[in-house]
Structure 1
Amino acid sequence: MKNIHKLFRKTFIFCTLFFVIKSQSQELQSYLKQAMANNPEIQKFELQYNIASEKVNGVKTLPNTEFGASYFVSEPETRTGAQRFKLSVKQMLPWFGTITSKENYISSLADATYEDIVIAKRKLITSVSQSYYNLYANAAKQKVLEENIKLLETYETLALTSVEVGKASAVDVLRLQMRQNEMEQLLAILNQQYLTEKTTFNKLLNRDKSISINILSDLNFPSEDFEMNTNTLEVHPELLKYDKLYQSIETSELLNKKENAPMIGFGLDYINVVERPNMNFSDNGKDILMPMVTVSIPIFNNSYKSKTKQNSLQQQEILAQKQERKNTLETFLDKAINERIAARISYKTQTKNVKQAKNAEEILIKNYETGTIDFNDVLDIQELQLKFEMNQIESIKSYFIQTTIINYLTN
C-alpha cells in the first residue's frame, strides 16, 4: 500500500511537470528533465527522505540484552557446596505495541520529509522556467536593439545625403550617432545580463555555466488563459507538509503513552557450585539455575506528562503555521493572477502602439522622398518604437512568469 502511495505521488509530480511545459518548446521540456535529474537540492532532499525512511528499520529492535558475570572472592558456603561464580542474562521487553508505535512515528516523519521533495521539484520547475523566460526576453530585446541600430544607420545615411544637398544640418547626423551609441551601450549591458542569467540557468541544471542554451526565437502570446482551479491550493504540498507534521505529533503522543506503560523483563541466573569434599549426597556440587521475571514501572512519570503537553502545544503551533502559510500562498496566487491580467492588457496596448509607431515611421520615409523629413521626428518616433517593443517583450515575459507561479500554486 505504501509503494502504491509513493507511485501516486511520483505520477502527480510528473503530471504537474507536463502541465507546465505542454505548451512550451521541446527545449524547455528537455531542460526541465535535466534539472529534475541533476539538481543537487533535489538530490539532497531525496537523501534526507531515504535517511528518514531507513530510521524505521532502526526502531525494530528490542532493548539491549544484559549479560553479567561475577566471581566470588570469598566463596559463600551452602549445604550443597561453595558458590564459585555467577552468570546472568536479562532481556527487557517494551509494552505491547510500543515498537509498532515507534515505527509509525518514524514513518510519519519520513512522510513529512517526502513533501520537501515534492515542494523542491515544484520550485525547481518554476525557477528553471522563469530563468528561461528571462533569457528569452533578454535575447528578444537584443534582437530589437540590433534592428533599431541598423535602422539608425539607414537614417544616418539619409541624414548625410540631406546634409550634402542642404536639407539637413550636421547636428542631425550627430544626434542620430549619439542615439546609436546609446543603443550600442544598452546592447552591451543586455549581453552581460544575459551571461549572468545563463549562469543561473545552467547552475539550476547543475552543469557548466558556459554551456550554450537554445532559446525560442519567438514566444507567442496565448490567445486565452488556461482554466485553473484555485481550490487545489488546499492540497498544495506546502500545506500538506503541515498536515503530515500534525499527524507525526499524533503518532508521537501514541508512542508517549506506550512508553509510559510498564516494561517486562525475563532473565536467567546461573551459579556454579563446587562439590563439598569427603561428602557423598545426591545434590553435592549441584549448580543453581534461577529464572527471573522483572517489571519496570514508571512511577515518576512527570516527563511523560510534560511530553503530552508539549505535543498538544506543537499541534497548535503547526495549525497556526499552516494558516499563516495558506494566507501567504493565497496572496501570492491573487497577485500572480492580477499581474498576468495586467500583462495581457499591457501586451495589447503595446502591440497597438508598435503598429502605430511603424505607420508613423513609414510616413516619415515617404516625407523624405518629398524632401520634408525632420530628423527630430525620426528620433522621437524611433525612441517611442523601441520603448513600445521593449514593453511588449516585458509583457510577454511577465505573462509567462506569472503563469509559472500560478502553476506552482494550483497544480
Structure 2
Amino acid sequence: MKRLIFILIGLMTFSFSNGQQLEILINEALANNPEIQKFELQYSIASEKVNEVNTIPNTEFGVGYFVSEPETRTGAQRFKISAKQMMPWFGSITARENYVSSLADAKYEDITIAKRKLVASVSQSYYNLYALKTKQRVFDENIALLKTYETLALTSLEVAKASAVDVLRLQMRQNELEQSKQVLVQMYLAEQTTFNKLLNREKSIEIDLVNELIIPLNDALNETENLALHPELTKYDKLFQSVEQSELLNQKDSQPMIGFGLDYVSVSERPNMNFSDNGKDIVMPMVSLSIPIFNKKNKSQTRQNALKQQEITFKKQERENVLETALSKAINNRIAARISNNTQTKNLKQAKDAEEILIKSYETGTIDFNDVLDIQELQLKFQINQIESVKNYYVQSTIINYLTI
C-alpha cells in the first residue's frame, strides 16, 4: 500500500508548495474511512474464530436417582453419577483451525482491495476538484478578457467604428460565461462533499489544491504482469485454499469419535448382613466409539467442495478478463489524453496568435468583434479541453496504478 501511494505521488511532477500533498490526504482517508474500518473489524472477527474452534465437545455429566431402588447382592442402588467426554479424531481440531484461518486470510484481501479502491477514489476525486477549480479560473480569465474587449467596443462605438450590437453581443457572451462558471461552482461543492466524505470529515472543509498539473514527458513504467498478483485475483486463490482446507476438515469429520467416561453408582449396605463388599459402591470406566456409518453428508460435502473449486476458478478467470480489459482501456485512454493535450497546446498557441492579430487590427481601426467572439470561444474550448486531457491523464494513471502496483 505504501508503494502504491508513493508511485501515485511520484506521477506528479509539479510542486506542492501551494497545495496539500495528496499523500497526506490519502493517509488521512486510510486512517479514518469507515469502510476500511468495517473490513478490518470483519477480519478481526474472522481471526478470532480460530480460538472459537480450538475446542473439544462439551463434557457430559449426568445424575440419576433410583425412585425404586434395585436390589443387588451387595445392596440397593440409590443414585448414579456419570461423566463422559467425546474426543474428535486425531488432527480434527488442527484441520478446523486451518480452515478458519484460511477464511480469515481471504477476508484480509478485502482490506487490501478496499484500501486500493480508496486510494484510487481519493486521487480521482482530487483530480476532479483540480479540473473544476482550474476551469473556474479559466472562465474568470475569459470574462476579464471579454470585459477588455467590451471596453474597446465602447471606445470604438464613440468613434462609430463599432455598433451597439457588438457591445451587446460581448455582454451576452459574458453572461453565458458567468452562468457556466456558477454551474462549475456548484459541481465543485458537490465534488468537495464527495472528497471530504471519503476522508470521513465535514463536507464543507476546504481542499487546498495545487495550482497546476502538468503531464510528464514520459509515462511511468507499469509492469502489466503484476496484474496476476492483484488482490482481487489473489482473493480467489485464498478462497480456493479455504475450500481445500474445508475438504481436509470434512475428511476428519468423517472419522470416528472416541469417548471416555465414568459411571459411579452409590450402593446401600444390606442390613443385618455381614459379608465382604456389603454396600460397596460401583465404579465403571467406559470407552465409546462414534462411527459415521451413514456418511452421505460427508460424501455430499466432498462433491460440493469440488464444485466450489471449479466455480472459484471460473470466477477468477472472469475477473481477470475484466481487469485486463480495464487495464488495456486505461492505457489507451492515457495515451489519448496525452495526444489531446498536445493538440490543445498547439491550438491554444494558434488562438493566441489570432488574438494578437486582432489586437493589432484594433490599432489600425479595423477590428471585427464577430471575429473577437469566435476566437474567444475557440480559445475557451481549447483551454477546457486541455484541462480535461490533463485530468484524464492522471485519472487513467490512477486506474493503471490500481491494477498493476
Q: TM-score scaled to structure 2, two decimals?
A: 0.98
- Equivalent in the alignment of 1:15: 3
Instruction: Report how far residue 61 of structure 1 moved.
Output: 0.4
Q: How does 1:227-306 map to 2 (within 5 A)?
A: 227-306=221-300
Moved more, 217-226 or 337-346: 217-226
Question: What are the Cα deviations for residues 333-367 of structure 1, in whole angstroms up to 9, with x where unaligned?
Answer: 00000000000000000001011101110110111
The number of residues matched between the two structures is: 399
- Equivalent in the alignment of 2:129: 135
2:319 maps to 1:325? yes
Q: Distance in 1 between matches of 2:266 and 2:97?
A: 42
Q: How does 1:177-192 map to 2 (within 5 A)?
A: 177-192=171-186
Q: Distance in 2 between matches of 1:282 and 1:157?
A: 131
Q: Distance in 1 between matches of 2:2 and 2:159?
A: 68
- Equivalent in the alignment of 2:370: 376
Partners of 2:267 and 2:282 within 8 A in 1: yes
2:97 maps to 1:109? no
- Equivalent in the alignment of 1:3: none
- Equivalent in the alignment of 2:150: 156
- Equivalent in the alignment of 1:9: none
Partners of 2:11 and 2:220 within 8 A in 1: no
Instruction: Report how far residue 280 of structure 1 moved.
Output: 1.3
Q: Residue 297 of structure 1 aligns to which amino acid in structure 2? A: I
Instruction: Report how far residue 245 of structure 1 moved.
Output: 0.2
Q: Residue 356 of structure 2 aligns to which amino acid in structure 1? A: E
- Equivalent in the alignment of 1:31: 25
Q: Residue 54 of structure 2 aligns to which amino acid in structure 1? A: K
Q: Distance in 1 between matches of 2:138 and 2:10?
A: 28
Q: TM-score scaled to structure 1, two decimals?
A: 0.96
2:67 maps to 1:73? yes
Match of 1:49, SS state, is helix
Question: What are the Cα deviations for residues 188-243 of structure 1, in whole angstroms up to 9, with x where unaligned?
Answer: 00000000000000000000001110111111111110111100001110000000
Q: Residue 109 of structure 2 aligns to which amino acid in structure 1? A: E
Q: Distance in 1 between matches of 2:311 and 2:262?
A: 48
- Equivalent in the alignment of 1:221: 215
Question: What are the Cα deviations for residues 365-403 of structure 1, in whole angstroms up to 9, with x where unaligned?
Answer: 111010000000000000000000000000000000000
Equivalent position to 1:165, from 149, 159, 163: 159
Identity over aligned pairs, percent: 71
Q: Distance in 1 between matches of 2:150 and 2:264?
A: 110
Q: Distance in 2 between matches of 1:57 and 1:21?
A: 41
Residue ranges of structure 2 left out of the alignment (5+ in a row): none
- Equivalent in the alignment of 2:334: 340
Q: Distance in 2 between matches of 1:255 and 1:137?
A: 55
Residue ranges of structure 1 left out of the alignment (5+ in a row): 1-12
Q: Distance in 2 between matches of 1:310 and 1:261?
A: 19
Question: What are the Cα deviations for residues 138-196 of structure 1, in whole angstroms up to 9, with x where unaligned?
Answer: 00000000000000000000001111100000000010001000000000000000000
Equivalent position to 1:95, from 89, 96, 100: 89
Match of 1:266, SS state, is strand
Q: How does 1:375-394 map to 2 (within 5 A)?
A: 375-394=369-388
Instruction: Report how far residue 67 of structure 1 moved.
Output: 0.4
Equivalent position to 2:117, from 112, 123, 129: 123
Instruction: Report how far residue 281 of structure 1 moved.
Output: 1.6
**Which structure 1 residue ranges, 4+ long, deviate > 4 Å from structure 2?**
none
Q: Distance in 1 between matches of 2:3 and 2:316?
A: 25
Q: Residue 205 of structure 2 aligns to which amino acid in structure 1? A: I
RMSD after superposition: 0.7
- Equivalent in the alignment of 1:207: 201
Question: What are the Cα deviations for residues 82-140 of structure 1, in whole angstroms up to 9, with x where unaligned?
Answer: 00000000000000000000000000000000000000000000000000000000000
Q: Residue 6 of structure 2 aligns to which amino acid in structure 1? A: F
